[in-house]
Chains A and B, each alone.
Chain A
Amino acid sequence: MILNLQNMRRPGFVLFASFILLAHSCTKLNEDVGANLTQGQVTTDSSYAAILLQSVYSSLEWTFTGFLEIFPLSELTTDEAIAPTRGNNWDDNGMWRVLHQQKYDPNNKVVHDCFNSLSGVIYAATDMLQYKATARQQAEARFLRAWAMYWLLDLYDQVPYRDPGESTVPPARVRKGKDALDYIIKELNAIEPDLLDGPANRANKYAAMALLMKCYLNKHVYLNRASPAPPDPADMNNVISLADSIIKSAHFTFSEKYFDNFSPTNDRDGKENIFTQARNFDGNYAVALAWILILSYPQNGANGFSTLSDFYNKFESTDKRKGFAYNYATSPPNPGGRVNVGFLIGQQYDLVVDTPLTSSYTNQGNPIPVVYTPDVKNVEQGANIEMPGIRPIKYPPDWAHFCVFQCDPATNEFVYLRFPDVLLMKAEAILRGGTPTNAGPYGSSAAAIVNFIRTDLSRGASRLNDVNLDTLYNERGRELWWENWRRQDMIRFGRYLKPFQQKEATSDPKYLLFPIPYEQLGVNPKNLVQNPGY
């Protein structure tokens, strides 16, 4: 480029030339999102709905199958379970101890993580609803959202929500108490026609019905947890009629063995399972923690949770739900016929060669026998660090997939809802003022239903003469132990605040609800209100 020197003296030319040079290479600065998709790309057609829906299922996994969020809040706070501090382990600044003592505060990590996880499910489901999808896909997403909302209502009494496509910048609106419950009931009724009958590991019609039953059964408690009014008979009758619909579908029956519902092949053998979590390879499916968190070190576990002796003593000796020598896919030969599922108590054995197990992990390296004893305390020290505590194994360990990190997930499907729960809810509704009905072979009185369950060959317990609310409460414990219903049941039956093993004090009524985590109160002070008393 040859420039005339004359021109150079005119500043105008210089500016013009420079402007040309600078202006030619302007870009629009639209952000290239690399290996991600923008909202605009996802709206193109309905093929995205399936993979979006898969992520909604995925978002539910860790909070339940990880046993470190829903489980501690629903079980460690009860007479059923405890996570003793064993020396240096399981101390975590008292995070677990305060749960069993019912002394949680808004700083508690489990309270925080659980609130966020459940809210995340609500978001993932809501977000999917803004895109093209079939009615069934939308219904599935809405069911999962209703499920997460239900748990937030049950645990925290406050349910944040957003509309599809709503930005996350403004504070989310919140439904409390009755409003939240009404919304869930409305949603479940609306989506039921679009849901299929099964399979159990996807949102289905019967799962929606069972969840509706939970809503109606607990409604009077959700309206006033500390001193609930007597339940409305209309609600109880709703429970009964929903139960009957499920019974009459003949879709569910008792499994041959109690633990078939939880075994590594429970997708095939678990005939009682209404709603489960499908096995998933995304890294969040951690059902192996169901046994790893509980077993002691020589059994390749982390020596965490145990049950308490008072609860254990509620079982008759013949009650198979307590545990037995169970032969299942991937189970070791167990030549000695040792109890390998249910409540593990006493000397434990190697299940391949039947030698008594010993442990050199604690007690300064000197081997001690692995003997689980019934008496367990909040804090174990010294020689007692390792062994105290009856170990409840609800999910028979998948020996082909024993670990949880850096390995394929175990094949046991995590169980959310089971048929016997439906029967027991019907029995309870009858006892609480509903009109008895006859459906299926189970009978029309609470006693008939409860005894049908107890005496089934898979359970092997004796008949009870008197079935009242107290015995029903205990029966729920025996049937549904470790399935995340204990806290809810204790509250509904007025037992939660009372002292129980390793919780000496009567709790302040505020502990009927978990506090809203500080962090969320801090970012949404407008719509979230701390629960009373905190």
Chain B
Amino acid sequence: MVLKHFFKPIGLWVLLSSMSQLALAQGREITGKVIDNKDRSALSNVSVIARGTQTGTQTDSNGNFHFTVPASIKWLTVSAIGYSSQDIDVNQTDHIEVRLESTASSLDEVVVIGYGTARKKDLTGAVASVQEKDFNKGTFTSPDLLIQGKVSGVQIMSNNGSPGAATTIRIRGNSAITGTGQPLFVVDGVPLDGRSLERNINPLNFLNPIDIASIDILKDASATAIYGSRAAYGVVIINTKKGKTGETKIDVAISVGASSALKKLDILNATQYREAIQYWGVDPSFDKGGDADAQDAILQTGWQQNYSIAGSGGNENGRYRFSAGYLDQDGIVSNTSFKKYTGDFSANLKCLKSKKLGLDLHLNSSQYIQEGSNISDGNGGSVFFALIWNPTVSLRNKDSSLRMSPAENVNPIAYSQYARDNLKVTTLLGSISPYYKFTDWLDYRLLLGINYSSGISRSSTDQALGLWPMIFSPTGYASIANNELTTQQITQTLNFNKEIFHELRLNAVLGYEYMKFTSQGFSLSASGNDATGFGNYGIDYTDYIQFSSQGSRRIASYLDPISELQSFFGRTIFTYREKYLLTATLRADGSSKFGANNKYGYFPSFAAAWDISKEDFFKLSFINSMKVRIGWGKTGNQEFPAGSSQALYSFQNGGGLRQTNNANPDLKWQSDRQYNVGVDFSICNNRVSGTMDYFNKSTTHLLFPSPPIQPAPPNSTVQWINLDGQILNKGFEIMVNGGIIRQENFSWDLSVNASFLNNNVSGLTVPLYTGDVGSPVEIIQNGHPMNTFYTRKFLGLDKSGQSVYEDDGNTFYYLGDPNPKTLLGVTSTFRFKKFSLTANMYGAFGQRIFNADLFNWLTVYGIMGRNMALSVYENPVKESLTNPAQSPSSRYIQNGNYLKMGNLTLSYAPGDIGKAFKGTNIYVTAQNLFLITKYEGFDPEVNADRSINGVPSFGIDNVRYPSSRTFIVGINFSL
């Protein structure tokens, strides 16, 4: 503190002049300060050495140092753990300010694991931690995309391109024959329900990425077992930002951008259509003389703006942070958009004179509105109608009105104007957590959490669409549905962290958790009144639904069976001499969902780690640290509807009561057993670090919605059972980060992660079918990966244009599967003075995709008034129009390999501008800049819901909302 004042400009000059005299003598005094280049915080215990000598010192708690170096010394080497070291030229100066850059992986980094935190170097399980600075850059409606391509073993894929779309996340392969297969999300200690309010909407949409400090992914069972019967697919822990001590700091982020379609489908244009009419010799009256590009007509430039402001401050006794955000993003398909308002507040308080009592508060609120929420997955939306539009039919009449005729297909522009489907979701996530420190090694914490979300869906079709009465109501249609999901939570933990014997430390937690999940809602729908229909008054039909015909009104309401979860858990971590680690966890989960015979499940895990590099016998000097880990554990999954284990009687429309489900009192959780062997290493002066893991995950007692054995309750489609069978996922993951170039003005960091996955099913007594494209096209069968494509083998067209199949199409073959064999993620950052260029690429290889668009909608029959794929027209063999009506076959199974430039960002950080703007950063980002793939659809990242009886499909493309390429300009600064 004193030194700081002392080295004000005048003082400095005095010192320098006195020092220069000293320099002529044997040594000179060098002083300086070392700070973190990112947040300008002082770094203590940093080593400062005269290069090439042993003379050196360390910085104090304020980051300052001073020592005497020999006169001939020209360079100092400054280094610290977790930072890239620097060589500083002290030829011309005796005082330096050093700004160190932190490296990608820091072993001292604190990682959030279940119900506690640990330093990275103390971990025994496979845990990946991604900090905010490493998040993907760009605009994302949900935080899962922030880590896409960043973590080995984790595949994250947008199901389609609409803003707010759900994502498919698979950690270490696919093992879900029912349910979503998504990992458990925990936001600041509150595990989320996991259900979404509407099909294909992302349940994480309520979070604002700007509020997130880091995301930790627990991959192996020794890390996830503490979450027990919900953790089988992995756990993703999202940590929001908290207040920092210090003066109040306000962070502002503003960005604007524009999106356009990344890729359009190759279908015929008007000229090609006319040629095709001749080519196939069909009735020339199919050529209506116009020239329309229906895809272009429904695509638009999607403008977006994103604003946020956050403030934090406080002192050791109370820190706070608040934030507010607004995102307004238009989709690239007309009349689709996503708008979100978020607010977040957190406070960390310490009370009592002894400061032993603390209180953590967090409240996150958000509301988002998604317009055009349900136009993907072949729902007959505007993209669908655009694909099947005859390109020789003009979309508009001469007077610019839309051309709509019952003899023609539905005009896609008309659909996008006259069909509405909006979803408004309001979410509150709050927690209040008092804690009491009995001593510094024992504390007790109570967490009371609530997560409430309410979704209102309003959809309608204008009676103008009644021109097509087979599809749309001639009097118009309106529907309103509301669904509320509530999670209530009480968690109590007792934390113990003390050196219990000489060099033996025990970090233990003992806990109890109770959670209650409720889902309730109602819906009403109606068609317009018989006399006039809903009409054309410029008002949304859902706002005057009483103007409907009485006979058309449908109402329903529900309160789902309430699900309760009660758990006891504990974890012990023993650390001996900072090199030997042993972890054991156990969780007992009791769920009201489980059958009476299996109410409680027990989930243990064990793991050990050995920091070999700390041993005396370890002589490899280029390896700075190397830790070997091994772990084993059991987790479970309970993703079946509450009420499945006992008989339920439900009230029917118009009177009547009957049993509606097939009860199974023996129903229990799906079981996972996983073991993991891994190595964490850091070499070349901590310039290169990485981790490698081998895992073997076996899933048994497969939760399966079996067809009920008749006689069974009418309209019941499912009997939940635990199926005999096993799904085995095994693989190898590797992640390496390196500071390849480290110069004063220029640096290049490269981070690569790759995963190699293998999936196999065994032990089933009957195969399961899914992937409904008209008939099932995927199978879950012994000896093959999950969702293997199982259909006819297409050999080509014969000379007369007829399809030829292996064995005449009577035999089905196993024809590849949609699970990737290899995942790849590459992040490359170049820094030149204040500029930096970051590129994030990711890809997946070895998977195949079923292109249902080619199969269902863009066939050769399209020449008779619809449209067809260009590849059909350009086929060297002319397909015959009498080629029998389409059957699924390998003709439509395509290579799904891809490599995508997820985001490319050029940023300029001028730092402080004037007195007001601190830490300014101006950037330009391109999202989805390019896509390298052979796949013919909109995007190989696709997952349409083509499930059959609750068995999910994978890798099927059915009228996907197109992907966008986005350019964003933004600025961040602090006040």
Contacts and interface: CB of A to CB of B under 8 A. Distances in A.
Interface stretch (A29-37, A236-244, A259-267, A428-436): A29-37
Contact of A38 (B559, B591, B649): B649
A38 B646 contact: yes
A283 interface: yes
B481 to A, nearest CB: 15
A431 B625 CA distance: 99
A169 B719 contact: yes
Contacts of B885: 91, 93-94
B643 to A, nearest CB: 6
Given A172-B711, A283-B653, A3 B473 contact: no
B185 interface: no
A167 B663 contact: yes
A54 B656 contact: yes
A126 B592 contact: no
Contact of A168 (B286, B439, B549, B708): B708
Contacts of B662: 168-169
B514 A116 contact: no
Most buried by B among A14, A29, A41, A524: A29
Contacts of B496: 14
Contacts of A406: 473, 477, 525-527, 552, 554
Contacts of B512: 21-22, 25
A120 B711 contact: yes
A484 interface: no
B650 A93 contact: no
B656 A39 contact: no
B676 interface: no
B714 A117 contact: yes
A297 B766 CA distance: 44
B861 interface: yes
Contacts of B653: 281-283
B527 A407 contact: yes
B650 A36 contact: yes
Given A168-B719, A302-B470, A401-B551, A524 B709 contact: yes
Interface string B761-802: 000001000000011000000000000000000000000000
A27 interface: yes
B347 to A, nearest CB: 24
B715 A120 contact: yes
B775 A93 contact: yes
Nearest to A520: B710
A297 B407 CA distance: 11
Interface of B: 283, 285-286, 405-408, 438-439, 442, 444, 469-470, 473, 477, 490, 492, 494, 496, 510-512, 514, 520, 525-527, 549-552, 554, 557-564, 566, 568, 590-593, 599, 642-643, 645-660, 662-666, 706-716, 719, 721, 766, 774-775, 861, 865, 885, 887
Contacts of B527: 406-407
A121 B710 CA distance: 10
A523 B659 CA distance: 21
A30 B591 CA distance: 9
Interface in A377-411: 401, 406-408
A32 to B, nearest CB: 4
Interface of A: 3, 5, 8, 14, 18, 21-22, 25-27, 29-39, 41-42, 48, 51-52, 54-56, 58-59, 88, 91, 93-94, 115-117, 119-124, 126-127, 160-162, 167-172, 280-283, 297, 300, 302, 360-361, 364-366, 401, 406-408, 519-520, 522-524
Contacts of A42: 649, 657
Nearest to A30: B592
22 contacts: A25-B514, A31-B593, A32-B592, A34-B560, A34-B562, A51-B656, A56-B658, A59-B658, A120-B711, A120-B712, A123-B711, A160-B711, A168-B663, A168-B709, A169-B664, A171-B709, A364-B283, A406-B525, A406-B526, A407-B552, A408-B551, A522-B707
B658 A52 contact: yes
Given A169-B662, A406-B525, 9 more contacts: A27-B514, A31-B564, A34-B520, A34-B642, A38-B649, A124-B658, A300-B469, A401-B551, A408-B551
Contacts of B470: 297, 302
A407 B593 contact: no
Nearest to B650: A36
A14 B442 contact: yes
Given A22-B512, A52-B658, A300-B469, A407 B714 contact: no
Question: Which 7 A-B pairs give the minimum distances between C-beta atoms?
Answer: A408-B551, A120-B714, A119-B710, A55-B658, A365-B407, A123-B711, A34-B559
Nearest to A19: B510
A201 to B, nearest CB: 15
Nearest to A382: B283
B561 A34 contact: yes
B561 A31 contact: yes
A42 B649 CA distance: 8
With most chain B CB atoms within 10 A of its CB, the pick from A31, A93, A121, A366 is: A31
Contacts of A119: 710-712
Contact of A54 (B655, B659, B887): B655
Contacts of B511: 22
A160 B706 CA distance: 18
Most buried by A among B549, B568, B659: B659
A22 B509 CA distance: 13
B774 A93 contact: yes
Most central of A3, A406, A522 by chain B CB within 10 Å: A406
Contact of B713 (A5, A36, A38, A124): A124
B599 A37 contact: no
A171 B477 CA distance: 44
A302 B469 CA distance: 10
B524 to A, nearest CB: 12
A55 B662 CA distance: 16
Given A169-B666, A364-B286, A365-B407, A38 B714 contact: no
A495 B648 CA distance: 47
Nearest to A18: B494
Contacts of A22: 492, 510-512, 568
A22 B707 CA distance: 41
Nearest to B707: A519
A31 B590 CA distance: 12
Contacts of A171: 709
Contact of A18 (B510, B561, B775): B510
Contact of A88 (B561, B715, B719, B861): B861
A136 B566 CA distance: 47
A168 B664 CA distance: 8
B711 A126 contact: yes
Contacts of A32: 561-562, 564, 592
A14 to B, nearest CB: 7
A41 to B, nearest CB: 8
B564 A27 contact: yes
A124 B655 CA distance: 15
A161 B514 CA distance: 42
B714 A29 contact: no
Contacts of A523: 706-709, 766
A364 B285 contact: yes
Contacts of A281: 653-654
A124 B549 contact: no
A447 B216 CA distance: 88
Interface centre among A48, A55, A119 (most CB of B within 10 A): A55
Given A18-B510, A51-B657, A33 B714 contact: no
Contacts of A520: 707, 709-710
Contact of B643 (A34, A172, A283, A365): A34
Given A35-B557, A406-B473, A29 B564 contact: yes
Contacts of A30: 592
A51 B654 CA distance: 10
B407 A360 contact: yes
A42 B550 CA distance: 32
A5 B442 CA distance: 12
Contact of B406 (A170, A361, A364, A524): A361
